[in-house]
Chains A and B, each alone.
Chain A
Amino acid sequence: MGIESTADDFSVGVSTFDGEILANAIDAYVPPEGGIHPREAARHHADVASKVLREAFTKSGIRPKSLSVLAFSQGPGLGPCLRTGATVARALASYLGIPLVGVNHCIAHIEIGKLRAGAKNPVTLYVSGGNTMVAAFESGRYRVFGETLDIALGNCLDVFARESGLRQKVGMPFGAVIEKLALGGKKLIPLPYSVKGMDVSLSGLLTASVALLKKGDCRLEDLCYSLQETAFSMVTEVTERALAHTGKEELLLTGGVAANRRLQSMIRAVAEEHGVKFETVETQFAVDNGAMIAWTGALAYNHGVVTPVEKSFVRLRWRPEEVEVPWAE
């Protein structure tokens, strides 16, 4: 079983050691207004924890006593949210007398992506509300080849949407709202394009987009279109650079923003140009989810990794390079 609670989602997944996903229950916190307040989100997680746990047990048909290991996302993420998930995990593991495995959230995204897409050794573009990185496996670890120098891609889109007075709802997050509006965009408005090495910087793009919005001379559809085209071109360019640099033969797109069809088409075009396989993940496994924690926990546990309770403190800035990955080839 895996418990995920790094940001706005509280999720519990159940996986077998062969990678069959038996349950993936998710309850997302939707703030009444504004962004995610870490403590508000943590309170939500505490409120829904027992409900989501029960749902995962019911769906999987697994009784608590048959669990062999309990995995939880140990970081990186929002402190109060991580602590809530870790507390649930510790309590349940000690009650059942089974070992804990602390899982790195970013690595879990890559592992579930590989599992669901049937990928072996891809370059992964992982784009979400909290993370934007290009990573690939080299000599025992996932190395980050490129990432954002400031804000995450999803965060950039979310803040712009909020500034525009747009509303999100369950099943229609800000990213999807912008994607829909962008389809009505006709004019490409010049916006700052900032690629530095294999890194991107998105804060200037966000500031410029919001400034144009407040000025009121541009259609919202055109702005959404231009923001998407510019931001996605930037991450696609660095992904292509990492692909050329590593010479890998698969390209995996995952994270919450992976649901965007325009981004998918750009990444697919790069994969085709380089003659590599393009892979992406179903939305329920691309967004933050418990199944990815369960599966990565199973992989780690199979290779002798366990996390003693005294070492199960949450790690807010835990980088993927810090984790040895004995299970990947």
Chain B
Amino acid sequence: MGRVSSPVLIKKGAEANLYLADWHGRRAVMKKRLRKEYRPWKLDEQIRKYRTVHEPQLMHEAKRAGVPTPMIFLVDVKNTTIIMEYIDGKQVKQLLSAISEGERQRLCFRIGQLIARLHECGLIHGDLTTSNMIVGLGGRVFFVDFGLGDRSGEVEARGVDLHLMKRALESTHYEFAGTCFESVLAGYGSVLGAGAVKSVLDKVREIERRGRYVAERKQEESSV
């Protein structure tokens, strides 16, 4: 990693610190997963190494699925650090409330298409929030932060992915969460078809009904 110079902390996240750095003369982001004191050392190391290895793999596969992600420059498993391309642009989180209704729906439709492309290729992002999507200067939408991602073709995993997207919209963009999510689904359906939307939406509803009071759920199921 000797070629990294002058790293500047740009974001202290919950899981990792992001630094803006110069890498061989290119602007790069250095993502360093930090030791979490609250969990046992062994568990902590397992989690950080696993995510450091898997994130670049999934980002690479996402590119092949047609979903823009930052280019990976270097993976340093020992130091749980990834160096990747810096994407100049704005987070969807910042953009959503700053653009017109029409642009907003178009952006959400595009996001839905990209999620569908991931799912089509058996990829699950695992943390679909508007902070993890960047609109580049050229207008391309990049997905970042695949640390919680997974490979799965199951409807369950796809349902959880969309459920997370829905909840991220509801908790952060409550003013227009409903119409945004509808546009996401429309975009999703434009790639995977109406049948896929229906089965994954049924799953989202099922997931929403889960949790909280197991006994009650069993009772309801038996009485229905």
Contacts and interface: CB of A to CB of B under 8 A. Distances in A.
Interface string A136-160: 0011010111011111100100000
Interface string A183-201: 0000010100101111100
B25 interface: no
Given A138-B174, A196-B126, A197-B148, A270 B38 contact: yes
B196 to A, nearest CB: 20
B215 A149 contact: no
Determine chain A's interface SS by DSSP, over half rule.
mixed
A36 B213 CA distance: 10
B38 A149 contact: no
Given A197-B127, A197-B168, A233-B38, A79 B219 contact: yes
A127 interface: no
B216 A78 contact: yes
B215 A37 contact: yes
A78 to B, nearest CB: 5
Contacts of B38: 233, 236, 265-267, 269-270
A77 B213 contact: yes
B14 A197 contact: no
Interface stretch (B40-48, B56-64, B84-92): B40-48
Nearest to A195: B148
A243 B160 CA distance: 22
Contact of B14 (A36, A37, A243): A243
A265 B213 CA distance: 27
Interface stretch (B72-80, B97-105, B182-190, B204-212): B204-212
B167 interface: yes
B39 A149 contact: no
B170 A143 contact: yes
Interface in A115-131: 130-131
B127 to A, nearest CB: 5
A273 B47 contact: no
A180 interface: no
B43 A152 contact: no
Contact of B164 (A193, A196, A245, A269): A196
Given A79-B219, A197-B168, A233 B39 contact: yes
B213 A130 contact: yes
Contacts of B137: none
Contact of B210 (A149, A190, A236, A241): A149
Contacts of B40: 188, 229, 233
Contacts of B209: 317
Contacts of B174: 138-139, 141, 143
Given A233-B38, A265-B38, A155 B214 contact: yes
Give the interface centre of A37, A77, A273 by most chain B CB atoms within 10 Å: A273
Contacts of B210: 149-150
Contacts of A78: 213, 215-216
A267 B174 CA distance: 28
A261 B215 CA distance: 27
A237 interface: yes
A316 interface: yes
A240 interface: yes
Given A193-B47, A196-B148, A273-B37, A143 B213 contact: no
Contacts of A147: 211-212
B14 A76 contact: no
A15 interface: no
Q: Which 3 A-B pairs have the closest CB atoms?
A: A197-B164, A244-B14, A266-B38
Given A76-B213, A199-B164, 5 more contacts: A7-B213, A147-B212, A149-B160, A152-B211, A245-B131
24 contacts: A38-B215, A38-B219, A78-B213, A79-B219, A138-B174, A143-B171, A145-B167, A145-B171, A147-B211, A151-B214, A193-B43, A195-B148, A196-B164, A197-B148, A197-B168, A198-B164, A229-B40, A233-B36, A233-B39, A240-B14, A241-B15, A266-B38, A266-B39, A321-B170
